[in-house]
Structure 1
Amino acid sequence: MKMKQVRLYGPQDLRIDEVPMPQAGPRDVVVKVAVFGICGSDLNFARNGYIGSPSPQPIPLGHELAGTVHQVGEAVQDIAVGQRVVIHPMKGSNRIGTGDPVHGGFAEFLLVRDAALDESVFPIPDHLAFERAVLTEPVAVGVHGLNLCQAEPSDRVVLFGAGPIGLGVVAALKHRGVERIAVVDIIDERLERARQLGADQIINPAKEELEAALRATFGTVPSKITGQPLVNCSLYIDCAGQGALLQQAVVMAKDTARILILATHKQPVELDMVQVLIKELAIRGSLSYPDEFPEVLAMLGDERLVLEGMHSHSFDFDRFAEAFAMAQDPHQSAKVLVQVS
């Protein structure tokens, strides 16, 4: 039996190949993919032409997916054929779409090794559509960071970068009851999506001076040491990966503010450590989502949560090239989904 799978051959060389359909071992399950999402890391892998280091073999991509259990290994417990699920791509021995030489989520079927309920395989509630459930992985990236920095309803938040991860953070903040959220981006279409998701202020620093706009929105409080007026925000979230914004956040931040870094910075960033010291700033990095899937699935299942601004386009699998091209256009797209079955 053969199936369709997207594989990366080199820089911007993605092909839909016919490959052997996976078979479940005793501890594995095979999932029939219903829908998958295209992630910013997939775009980066395609630009580079490889994952980690160059390989002579084509590499499968895709780690955001939802579908139905198709086959269950004999030693697997509590998972049944026909169950609707989302997959944690990094649990057990899995590295789905992020370096596994054989298995990726941009496919008709996917093997999940060492399958365990509520660890690598998570059931989708009956009322939750695949198109919403597939957002679990990207939203979990931000929710893990919010958990690490203990985001609360009383926080006054500045978020840099309104790509899919940043938009998911806006949705998660609103779900936590945070009301004061300013989103910063240089692309107006992204800012409008952030507004749809609940941001009460949007700022394009290419059109207005950032610190002045934030002071006008949130007001200022004096520094305890210098008396200098500082932006009255408690939490800065970096989803942009632009060093200059991070540097500016350290300068603008009030005493005891927190700075959460969710973005990947491609170059080292020099920060004013005197400001970090005298203002007692807390800078926290966040990677992946070790335990957040159940929390995010419950959040996505709340029909009061507005998510329409996060998902921009859907394509059928045979139009994958169009879908991937759209995902690379930040003016038109947010999260791009591909329907498989």
Structure 2
Amino acid sequence: MSALPEMMTAVVCHAPNDYRLEQRPRPVAGPGELVIKIEACGICGSDCKASSGADMFWCGDNPWLKAPVIPGHEFYGRVAEMGPGAAERFNVKLGEKVIAEQIVPCERCRFCRSGKYWMCEVHNIFGFQKDVAEGGMAQYMRVPANAVVHRIPESVSLEDAALIEPMACAIHTVNRADIQLDDVVVLAGAGPLGLCMIQVARLKTPKKLVVIDMVDERLELAKDFGADVVLNPARDDIDAAIKGMTDGYGCDVYIEATGAPAAVTQGLRIIRKLGRFVEFSVFGAETTTDWSVIGDRKELDIRGAHLGPYTYPVAIDLFERGLVTSRGIVTHQRKLDDWENAFKLASTADSIKVLLVP
């Protein structure tokens, strides 16, 4: 492998609405660490919300997002440099295609020590904490020794490999729903994550899979991925439709993947008593509801879903076997120097998933 450059190009987040393309020193692999050459990095909805200044990233005197930082947690690349001990720790070789899970576990807190590493109390996520966990919107990226790394088969395409992180999150979310064969499942949101969830939920073979979204083109793709019924709130009476197909009871499972407060209250209306409500989204604003629906009226099982713990190998295997796909989800690819237009595109309904390809 040829000598690595001393400098690299990277997108750098300095503050809300202040992202810049910069030249930075290429990271160097320390003991147990890797440096990977990025092949693609997706722009996530959370990246767009961080860019626009959502409170969950920037509020308070000690915001969770620590700038200046290179964003990007939906990345993959090839091993370009290995520090002492890294080959043994990660079981990888130079040039191999790899992905690191989005969280860098501290390995010391009660959650990490009990195997619940995705809920790490420190909670360093690639692309949000400067120095500790710089992200993949760059030509090169450092992978710390405490990261969780997986190899990707060469047969997995660029587009599929770039979608492993969202697909892993989708698998975890669907697993949290505990879908049964006789369940009517409603999934709100046919964005990138929702479209991944549809493919995974279809593999669980529920009685009926219903997808709700405001964009007809995405609903058409949802049907291609296995949705039995698609509904658009702009013209369909969602409550009546769900009641009509469930003898008036409501759906057994409701998965919220829109990030819109209205989708939360919608789900509480259309889910049956004793139903399972799975919340995945990152919200840009708070939502309120009548909590007596959850307890006194329906005794619902409310479950959160966060990241993709233990599901990256499953996602990679499903892509390798052709059981899930990025086809139709990855709609655009842009170079790093076109990052500004890429972010704008990712924030509109004209795209589904936008990749930055160095």
- TM-score by structure 2 length? 0.84
Aligned residue number for residue 266 of structure 2: 248
Q: Which runs of 5+ in 1 are unaligned?
A: 221-228
Q: Which runs of 5+ in 2 are unaligned?
A: 1-5, 107-123
Q: Which amino acid aligns with 1:96?
A: F
Local SS of the residue matching 1:142? helix
| Residue 213 (structure 1) aligned with residue 244 (structure 2) | no
Aligned mate of 1:61, from 61, 71, 85: 71
Q: Which amino acid aligns with 1:238?
A: E
| Residue 236 (structure 1) aligned with residue 254 (structure 2) | yes
The 1:91–1:10 alpha-carbon spacing in structure 2 relative to 1, beyond 3 Å, is closer
Q: Which amino acid aligns with 2:31?
A: P
Aligned residue number for residue 322 of structure 1: 341
Aligned mate of 2:306, from 260, 283, 287: 287
- TM-score by structure 1 length? 0.88
Count of aligned pairs between the two proteins: 326
- Is the 2:102–2:307 Cα contact (8 Å) retained in structure 1? no
For residues 115-160 of structure 1, give each alpha carbon's deviation from its aligned partner in whole angstroms, at most 9, with x where no partner exists: 56xxx11000121113201211112222112222322444321111
What is the 5 A alignment of 1:33-72?
Answer: 33-48=38-53, 51-52=57-58, 53=63, 58-72=68-82
- Is the 1:68–1:81 Cα contact (8 Å) retained in structure 2? yes
Q: 2: distance between equivalents of 1:257 and 1:23? A: 50
| Residue 99 (structure 1) aligned with residue 129 (structure 2) | yes
Q: 1: distance between equivalents of 2:14 and 2:80? A: 28
- Is the 1:60–1:101 Cα contact (8 Å) retained in structure 2? no
Aligned residue number for residue 111 of structure 1: 142
| Residue 335 (structure 1) aligned with residue 349 (structure 2) | no
- Is the 1:13–1:49 Cα contact (8 Å) retained in structure 2? no
- Is the 2:188–2:194 Cα contact (8 Å) retained in structure 1? yes
Q: Which amino acid aligns with 2:315?
A: V
Cα RMSD (Å): 2.3
Local SS of the residue matching 1:14? strand
Q: Which amino acid aligns with 1:237?
A: I
Aligned residue number for residue 223 of structure 1: none
Local SS of the residue matching 1:329? coil
Q: Percent identity?
A: 30
Q: Which is worse superposed, 24-33 or 283-292? A: 283-292
Q: Which amino acid aligns with 2:188?
A: F
The 1:26–1:101 alpha-carbon spacing in structure 2 relative to 1, beyond 3 Å, is closer
Local SS of the residue matching 2:48? helix
- Is the 2:29–2:82 Cα contact (8 Å) retained in structure 1? yes
Shift of 1:307: 3.5
- Is the 1:3–1:107 Cα contact (8 Å) retained in structure 2? yes
Shift of 1:301: 1.6
For residues 211-248 of structure 1, give each alpha carbon's deviation from its aligned partner in whole angstroms, at most 9, with x where no partner exists: 122234x231xxxxxxxx322x2111011233333223
- Is the 1:179–1:200 Cα contact (8 Å) retained in structure 2? no
For residues 175-212 of structure 1, give each alpha carbon's deviation from its aligned partner in whole angstroms, at most 9, with x where no partner exists: 33346211112222332232232212111112121112
The 1:321–1:126 alpha-carbon spacing in structure 2 relative to 1, beyond 3 Å, is same
